[in-house]
Amino acid sequence: MTTTHSAVDVIRAKRDGGVLSDEQIDWVVDAYTRGDVADEQMSALAMAIFLRGMTAAETARWTRAMIDSGERLTWPTGRPTVDKHSTGGVGDKITLPLAPLVAACGAAVPQLSGRGLGHTGGTLDKLESIPGWRAALSTAEIRDQLASVGVVVCAPTVGLAPADRKLYALRDVTATVECVPLIASSIMSKKIAEGAGALVLDVKVGSGAFMRTLSEARELASALVAIGDEHGLRVTALLTDMSTPLGRAVGNAVEVAESVEVLRGGGPPDVVELTVALAAEMLSLAGVPADPAAVLASGQAYETWRAMIAAQDGDPDAALPTPAHVHVVPAPRAGVVARLDARSVGIAAWRLGAGRARKEDPVQAGAGVVCLAKPGERVDAGAPLFELRTDTPDAVAGAVEALADAVDIADSAPEPTPLVVETIHGAR
Ligand code: URA
């Protein structure tokens, strides 16, 4: 039988810098999910955790309690299962080519994904720009598709970590999102409940990321890996650069189009490089000996993509939505692009309608920014630098303003910087 704790005692203990017991954590997460602990009490506790932190043991237990608040999925596919989670970036469409690539290599990929909020995009918003494509699948549909196609990218099922769904919404309105133990337990509770045997984390670092400095990204990556270890998951974190957008396209339909280019053997080199690097890490953790670069070049990943889209009622051959209005921003001078700031481009795309300010807002499928010159590329004065796409021309001025300090153009090329900055391996 669960010991009943007073919410006030649990809040007070954390407020005063104490370490919560396993029983206190289990009780408060369960009672909050059932509605016995009120939102205002959980808000106070979240703020106390934000200010006082949680130990690794508390974070692991908090994660377990959130997993236990709902269902834990299982995938009897006969193939090893592996997933990837990105902490979110600008132009981060990597799931789109990566998931079918890893499936084409022989692993099964059940990837429950999210929608965008703020300046980073969401995988489901991007895929929903494909006519007919359906994000909401039942557990039985996910299981069938995983067996037949080997890959599913869809919305989380309603029974998955309901404690996190409730708590994340509360944190969003109480300034308690940016807290490593709460972020790490939130991400890992969903990923562990999702039931894949292995997980690769793409922890973004730089201006367009949640974590802007290497030390912050390292702290989050280590917390995520520690939770994975504690729960017996094979896990690796790659810290990857998010100071500049990935690829040229930032938005929804434009990112799908760029992902299809990658799957057909072309596409921007940084998107190809990161896709192959993450695939190699996922296949290694899953114990599948395959060469992802060769499988990508063979066209098999593209065929798997088509099957994945069609299985979710999407038409892989349909024309993607186009914007009502396109505005071109010219280069102010000639030279080489020395810096292209990810956050500014993300904000511009968001203002154009590609992202949402509140969870319930719609997004424009055709909106976004195309970066026509990336760092290291030469431009002439007056040549097109950005293409701004939107259905709402009134939004252009705000996007242009967001891009005012986004680019440095210099006389010579900058030193190239690595895309994969660091790797943190789990215990298994
Ligand atoms: N993403 C999540 O799923 N949870 C957080 O707390 C932050 C980002």
> 168 CB under 6 A from ligand 1?
yes
CA of 396 relative to ligand 1 center, distance in Å: 30
Give the per-residue pLDDT at 34. 96
**Residues belonging to the active site:** 85, 164, 171, 186, 190
Give the per-residue pLDDT at 5. 82
Shortest-distance atom of ligand 1 to CA 186: 4
Give the per-residue pLDDT at 3. 61
CA angle 109, 111, 116 (to 5 degrees): 150
* pTM, full prediction: 0.96
Give the per-residue pLDDT at 108. 97
Give the per-residue pLDDT at 76. 83
CA of 51 relative to ligand 1 center, distance in Å: 18
Arithmetic mean of pLDDT, 50-72: 97
Minimum CA distance residue for ligand 1 atom 7 = 183
In order of their start, the domains of the chain are 7-53 (1.20.970.10), 82-318+421-425 (3.40.1030.10), 325-410 (3.90.1170.30)
Arithmetic mean of pLDDT, 354-367: 88
- Contact (CB, 8 A) for 9 and 21: no
pLDDT in tens, 252-287: 999 999 999 999 999 999 999 999 999 999 999 999
> 186 CB under 6 A from ligand 1?
yes
Q: What is the DSSP letter of 354?
A: I
Arithmetic mean of pLDDT, 343-351: 97
* Mutation choice for ligand 1 from 59, 176, 187, CB with most ligand atoms inside 8 A: 187
Residue 62 to residue 22: CA distance in whole angstroms? 8
pLDDT in tens, 94-143: 999 999 999 999 999 999 998 877 777 899 999 999 999 999 999 999 99
Alpha helices in 331-392, H assignment, sequence order: 342-349
pLDDT in tens, 223-237: 999 999 999 999 999
% of the chain beyond a pLDDT of 90: 92
CA of 186 relative to ligand 1 center, distance in Å: 5
Shortest-distance atom of ligand 1 to CA 182: 6
Q: Provide the mean pLDDT of the chain.
A: 96
Shortest-distance atom of ligand 1 to CA 177: 6
* Mutation choice for ligand 1 from 186, 201, 211, CB with most ligand atoms inside 8 A: 186
Give the per-residue pLDDT at 77. 76
CA of 30 relative to ligand 1 center, distance in Å: 19
Q: What is the DSSP letter of 205?
A: E
Per-residue pLDDT at 1 exceeds 70:
no
- Do strands 384-390 and 325-330 pair parallel, antiparallel, or not at all (unpaired)? antiparallel
